[in-house]
């Protein structure tokens, strides 16, 4: 289910095993995340040389990325290329939503029903539905009565949106907002950003790829991919983690190291020291540095203070920006703090905060997703004896390796809850899971078994391990 990176690679492997397989996809094209998220400025924050499939030598040698961080359009073109190159399209059914998957105890098969009215019966069901695919549009009173246009970053119109001459509200300040606000501000008359929690951002310093550097990586790609698989975030070939504690560095060393990482740009900032994500005092040194940068970059001290987070850097995934903070120096951009005083309601003319109406023509919901479980829980999944997945997860999602759920035989969740997933380079994590599922199917058949599912104890152990981390 799903024709993003995960579904396509799974289909390719199913073909390799000689299985009959079908991918069912809600969108009218392949690409998943990169099909839906077309908001202005959308790019990946993992370098393109690493955010790409490593399973096929010819593919990785022949494909040419043009920038250090690929745009949404370039990644979508890559996914399309993969679908064509590996002859996947014939087994992909587009514009079709899977509604229910029910395990039939008597036959040991899954019965899958979908919006096209066709019932499919399958031995295996692989949920390649993504971690961040079910859009979250907050249920603010009056939302549907707003007179202007509304958009969600993860459901962006394919034809693009013209904001010129418009007054725009952007709700949210996560990665999608951080990437899109500078673009919207460059076009619109006025932009009001509604911030509930300030976000940490480090500069991308995106640039065209240097051909010589690309050739060097390609000559050593197998080694790069292996290093990615061996690292906790599944990437980091450019600037690996320094195995030094921030607590052993004096002020001058900290400044020098953080300056260097700031200049390099991107998520490697968090790899400046090995304890930034393990020790609160170490983390505080990075936080102090970024707050200092925000104070330098933002002219108005009050706005700079509001933009400065008081949270752990990198606990929520760090944002990678191009001109985000500086955008608040533009005369047409305002920051509205909704941390203690939330958006009360949305009037026909715009959002109301603290009794004050902010009149706008358009509202952009950069409000994220029903993350990790949303896409799965929107499908009626029933395992053994008709037990709904929602029941199994009523106290929170439980899985084994993030890949399977006890009581749901032969159902797999690629990058499911309880796996590293969004804390990593997703493509590497997807490849690992798809290869695990492929191996499991081979092992089942070799051993003459019909189904595979985790034992309750194994699942409990895994959940305990994840919670401990």
SS3 state of residue 302: helix
Distance CA 418, CA 462 (A): 8
Q: 47, 68 in Cβ contact below 8 A? A: yes
SS3 state of residue 80: helix
Q: 400, 459 in Cβ contact below 8 A? A: yes
From the CB of 367, what's the least distance to ligand NAP, in Å? 4
Q: Which is nearer to ligand NAP, 176 or 432 (CB)?
A: 176
Q: 42, 71 in Cβ contact below 8 A? A: yes
Q: Does 173 interact with ligand NAP (rule: CB under 6 A)?
A: yes
Q: Does 241 interact with ligand NAP (rule: CB under 6 A)?
A: no
Distance CA 412, CA 128 (A): 8
CA distances from 190 to 199, 291, 321, 345 (A): 22, 26, 20, 20
Q: Which of 174, 182, 203, 416 binds ligand NAP (CB under 6 A)?
A: 174
Q: Interface residues for ligand NAP in 396-425 (CB under 6 A)?
A: 422
Distance CA 357, CA 93 (A): 46
Contacts of 467 (CB under 8 A, 6+ apart): none
Terminal CA-to-CA distance of the chain, rounded, Å?
30
Q: Does 234 interact with ligand NAP (rule: CB under 6 A)?
A: no
From the CB of 263, what's the least distance to ligand NAP, in Å? 19
Q: Interface residues for ligand NAP in 23-42 (CB under 6 A)?
A: none
From the CB of 180, what's the least distance to ligand NAP, in Å? 9
Q: Interface residues for ligand NAP in 125-164 (CB under 6 A)?
A: 132, 138, 140, 153
Stretch that binds ligand NAP, among 114-122, 325-333, 364-372, 411-419 (CB under 6 A): 364-372
248 burial class (0-12, 13-18, 19+ CB within 10 angstroms)? exposed
Q: Does 429 interact with ligand NAP (rule: CB under 6 A)?
A: no
Q: Interface residues for ligand NAP in 186-205 (CB under 6 A)?
A: 194, 196-197
Distance CA 469, CA 296 (A): 36
123 burial class (0-12, 13-18, 19+ CB within 10 angstroms)? middle
Q: Which is nearer to ligand NAP, 32 or 454 (CB)?
A: 32
From the CB of 173, what's the least distance to ligand NAP, in Å? 4
Give the x-and-dash track for 279-318 against ligand NAP (CB under 6 A): --------------------------------------x-
Q: Does 177 interact with ligand NAP (rule: CB under 6 A)?
A: yes
Positions touching ligand NAP (CB under 6 A) are: 43-45, 132, 138, 140, 153, 171-177, 179, 194, 196-197, 317, 320, 338, 343, 366-368, 422
């Amino acid at each position: 289910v799903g024709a993003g990176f995960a579904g396509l690679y799974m289909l390719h492997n199913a073909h390799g095993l000689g299985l009959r397989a079908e991918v069912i996809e809600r969108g009218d094209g392949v690409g998943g995340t990169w099909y839906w998220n077309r908001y202005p400025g959308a790019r990946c924050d993992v370098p393109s040389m690493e955010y790409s499939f490593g399973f096929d030598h010819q593919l990785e040698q022949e494909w040419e990325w043009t920038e250090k961080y690929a745009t949404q359009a370039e990644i979508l073109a890559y996914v399309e290329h993969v679908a064509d190159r590996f002859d996947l399209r014939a087994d992909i059914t587009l514009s079709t939503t899977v509604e229910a998957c029910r395990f039939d105890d008597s036959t040991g098969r899954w019965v899958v029903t979908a919006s096209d009215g066709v019932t499919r019966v399958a031995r295996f069901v692989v949920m390649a539905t993504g971690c961040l695919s079910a859009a979250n549009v907050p249920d603010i009173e009056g939302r549907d009565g707003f007179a202007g246009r509304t958009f969600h970053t993860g459901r962006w119109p394919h034809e693009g949106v013209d904001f010129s001459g418009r007054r725009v509200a952007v709700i949210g300040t996560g990665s999608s907002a951080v990437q899109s606000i500078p673009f919207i501000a460059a076009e619109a008359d006025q932009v009001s950003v509604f911030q509930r929690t300030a976000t940490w951002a480090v500069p991308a310093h995106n640039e065209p790829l240097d051909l010589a550097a690309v050739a060097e990586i390609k000559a050593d790609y197998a080694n790069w991919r292996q290093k990615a698989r061996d690292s906790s975030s599944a990437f980091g070939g450019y600037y690996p983690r320094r195995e030094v504690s921030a607590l052993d560095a004096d002020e001058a060393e900290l400044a020098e190291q953080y300056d260097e990482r700031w200049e390099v740009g991107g998520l490697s900032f968090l790899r400046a020291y090995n304890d930034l994500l393990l020790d609160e005092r170490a983390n505080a040194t990075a936080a102090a540095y970024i707050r200092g940068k925000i104070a330098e970059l933002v002219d108005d001290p009050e706005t700079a203070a509001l933009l400065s987070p008081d949270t752990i850097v990198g606990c929520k995934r760090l944002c990678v920006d191009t001109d985000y903070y500086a955008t608040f120096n533009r005369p047409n951009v305002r920051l509205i703090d909704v941390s203690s005083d939330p958006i009360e309601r949305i009037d026909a003319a715009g959002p109301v905060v603290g009794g004050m109406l902010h009149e706008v023509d358009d509202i952009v919901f950069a409000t994220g997703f029903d993350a990790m479980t949303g896409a799965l829980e929107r499908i009626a999944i029933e395992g053994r004896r008709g037990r709904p997945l929602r029941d199994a997860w009523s106290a929170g999602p439980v899985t084994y390796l993030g890949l399977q759920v006890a009581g749901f035989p032969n159902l797999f969740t690629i990058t499911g809850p309880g796996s590293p997933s969004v804390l990593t380079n997703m493509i590497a994590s997807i490849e690992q899971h798809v290869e695990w599922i492929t191996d499991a199917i081979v092992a089942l058949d070799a051993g003459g078994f019909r189904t595979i599912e985790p034992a309750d104890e194994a699942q409990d152990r895994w959940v305990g391990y994840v919670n401990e981390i």
